[in-house]
Amino acid sequence: MEKKLIYLALVHYPVLNRHGELITSAITNLDIHDIARLARTYDLPAYYLVTPLSDQQVLARSLIDHWLEGVGGDINPDRREAMGLIRIAEDIKKVCSEIILETGRSVLVYVTTAKKCPNYVNWSGLRKKIEDQGRESILLLFGTASGFDNSVLENADGVIFPIEGNREYNHLPVRSAVAITLDRLLGDRN
């Protein structure tokens, strides 16, 4: 059976601040570590950190290198294995280009959001698409700050139905959203 090619990207631009203004958010150490561990747990080929800011790319690379080449990986080989999945890219288009180059497959992009959008993709529909995956790779985009700029939603192949808990408060940490999403889409259903 051919391996499912599911990638994820944590996007720091183009995202919005709480006032709805376009910004580039800062990377965080916890997101880097925890999402890498999730990507390894669900056997993804790669996890992308997306930021156009060179200083943020340098910071991310130094954190990752500590676990890949430094003492961190010697102390915790499991963390080294997870951190080895991380790739850094300046934008979503570059992520898609790299996946196409690596796999020889087109890329279907699905976006997560806390907002309800028209024509969303429900969880079971996307899970079925993954199970029946043809010749496409799938890229799951997760936004930071207060969510994606509309340009990301408009250019995606689908927007995934939001994760809902208490309907009056819906602002999950992105690490939690990644964990729930990966389990709903790739977790064992037995």
Nearest partner of 138 among 95, 112, 109, judged by Cα: 109
pLDDT on residue 188: 87
Is the model's pLDDT at 82 over the cut of 70? yes
Return the pLDDT at 3: 65
Residue 161 has pLDDT above 50, yes or no: yes
User: What does the pLDDT read at residue 140?
Assistant: 98
Contacts of 66 (CB under 8 A, 6+ apart): 72, 73
Check pLDDT > 50 for residue 41. yes
Mean pLDDT of 123-145: 92
Q: Does the residue 153 lie in any domain?
A: yes
| Domain CATH for 178 | 3.40.1280.10
User: Domain for residue 1, yes or no?
Assistant: no
Quote the pLDDT of residue 61. 97
Report how many domains make up the chain.
1
* Nearest partner of 175 among 153, 137, 146, 143, judged by Cα: 143
Question: Is position 11 within any domain?
Answer: yes
Q: Which domain holds residue 113?
A: 6-186
* Whether residue 106 has pLDDT greater than 60: yes
Q: Is residue 39 part of a domain?
A: yes
| Residue 166 lies inside a defined structural domain of this protein | yes
When pLDDT is averaged across residues 164-178 and rounded to a whole number, the result is 87
179 occurs within a structural domain: yes
> Can you give the length of the chain in residues?
190
Structural domain contains residue 46:
yes
* Structural domain contains residue 56: yes
CA distances (Å), 91 to each of 13, 62, 87, 129, 155, in order? 7, 20, 12, 25, 13
